[in-house]
Amino acid sequence: MILAVTLNPALDITYRVDTLRPHATHRVREVAERAGGKGLNVARVLAQLGEPVLATGLVGGITGARLGTLLGTIPHAFWPVAGEARRTVTVVDDREATGFWEPGPTVTADEWERFVGHFQSLLPSVRVAVLSGSLPTGVPQDAYAQLIRAAQAVGVRTVLDADGPALAAGIEAGPDVVKPNVDELGDDTPRELLKRGAKAVVATKGEEGMEVVTEQGTWRAYPPERVYGNATGAGDAAVAALARGLVRDAAWSDLVTDAIALSAAAVAAPVAGQFDEDAYARFREGVHVEEMAHRAAVRVVCLDTDGRILLMRWRDPANGETLWEPPGGGIDDGEEPIDTARRELVEETGLNPAMIGEMSVAVHRDTQWNGRRWVGVEPFFLAKFPSARPPVTPAELTADEQRNLVESKWVHWSELGDLEGRLEPPQLLYIVRRLAPNDLRPRLDD
């Protein structure tokens, strides 16, 4: 069974309008009232999938009593508190949603201690515990860390979906899966969350799909099509898929396929906590997953003094797609990274290898995979050039490489959003934003 924990549940009210216009009066076409909060959305999706689930959390007051009624046949074991449970209001039109979230009750130290005991009493019949959402006032910031350690003590796996201090403290307890979105990651990367204690990180990126990062490898998955609708519960649907996958010990490629398909199908449903079953079945057939096990560390990007990055545009021989990537490759046995960088620069660009210094080579991946050590380097370099756009001429490419090469050029960060083809890796723009000086930050709308 899966235990879905919602420490700050809410009475979710959804208004559907024709078109949402700021500062205007709207005539509501439809009103939906549901028991909500991230964990309860997870529970509802799991119930629709036919997966055994039990919902728990902290509820209080008249609103809290209403939550239990609205859950219907979904099993629940809430713990009562004196404060009034919160409400959320979501206004939805045909393209997007706007939400208004109340803060929730104030929980006393005694109420929290009693809930922890209640949580522990539920664990004997649980295989995976999902810990989702914000913390109500009074609950300690390490609340999720406490629950993760309690679950670990009896062999229960955990999925954490939170943000801010609650996420940071929870990660240190070593949850089996952490599911941040781009905003929750902030300036961190999935690899950095692994170093802090998470066993696996599933970073959701909206229309750009998901990235799964573990010590064993990295997987990227892309949705089959763009879906319009209510995205409020999409992340919760993804968490439901992740929890179900852990119960079944699914392979990461299967698990992330299910997570993307289910989250997209949730966008197509009218309210959070539901998914369109026909869309779910269709999406599962179209999700594209790539195993990128060699990307076990963050790619470090160096800029020249004009803020330029060396990128080459290639045609993927497997699927014909075009992509942009820096030159670089694996280190041969006994070879130093600086030697590899100089060799790769000559082979792939024809530029003078003497331009590369020890401090301008970035080792960006180092991992064990399939019994071999894989290390890659990028021959980035910082230098003053005689012209704004130094010529780049690929040299000594094989016949296959020559056929697959589309073009190569110097590209300024501000032009990255205008490139046709998929950037490789997709986090390249993000890392440039982190490392570039303030006056070289990329346009965020790209």
Would you please indicate which residues are annotated as catalytic (active-site) residues? 236
Nearest CA to 312 out of 426, 429, 404, 409 is that of 409
Per mean pLDDT, which range of 50-59, 172-181, 272-281, 435-444 is the poorest?
Answer: 435-444
Is pLDDT of 121 > 90?
yes
Distances (CA, A) of 118 to 79, 115, 124, 155: 8, 5, 12, 17
**Distance between CA 388 and CA 366 in Å, rounded?**
33
Domains of the chain, by residue range, sit at 2-291, 308-440
Average pLDDT score over residue span 328-341: 68
Average pLDDT score over residue span 145-151: 98
Average pLDDT score over residue span 150-159: 98
Tell me which architecture the domain covering 2-291 has in CATH. Answer: 3-Layer(aba) Sandwich (3.40)
Please tell me the predicted confidence (pLDDT) of residue 97: 82
For residue 220, the cross-strand partners are 211, 290
Distance of CA 220 to the CA centre of its chain: 10
| Count of Cβ atoms closer than 10 Å to residue 407 Cβ | 10
Is pLDDT of 437 > 80?
no
Average pLDDT score over residue span 408-435: 61
What would the two tokens of residue 208 be? 């750009």
Terminal CA-CA length for the chain: 42
Please tell me the predicted confidence (pLDDT) of residue 386: 39
Tell me which architecture the domain covering 308-440 has in CATH. Answer: Alpha-Beta Complex (3.90)
Q: Coil, strand, or helix at residue 46?
A: helix
Please tell me the predicted confidence (pLDDT) of residue 157: 98
Please tell me the predicted confidence (pLDDT) of residue 246: 97
Please state at what angle helix 234-247 crosses helix 252-267, rounded to 10 degrees.
Answer: 150
Residue in the block written with tokens 């396929």: 257
> Is 0.85 surpassed by the pTM of this model?
no
Taking the CA atoms of 42, 44, 50 and 54 in sequence, report the sign of the dihedral they define: positive
Please tell me the predicted confidence (pLDDT) of residue 446: 35
Average pLDDT score over residue span 384-390: 42
Phi and psi, residue 54, nearest 5°: -130, 130
Please tell me the predicted confidence (pLDDT) of residue 441: 34
DSSP 133: S
Which amino acid, 132? S
Nearest CA to 300 out of 380, 388, 215 is that of 380
Residue 408: which residues within 8 A CB-CB, separation 6 or more? 311, 312, 313, 349, 392, 393, 394
Q: What is the band of 390 on the pLDDT scale with cuts at 50, 70, 90?
A: very low
Q: What is the DSSP string of 393-429?
A: ---S--HHHHHHEEEEEEEEGGGGGG-SSEESSTTHH
Q: Could you tell me what percent of the chain has a pLDDT over 70?
A: 73
**Distance between CA 139 and CA 113 in Å, rounded?**
10
Q: What is the DSSP string of 187-254?
A: T--HHHHHHHT-SEEEEE-GGG-EEEEESS-EEEEE-SS---S--TTHHHHHHHHHHHHHHTT--HHH
Average pLDDT score over residue span 138-164: 97
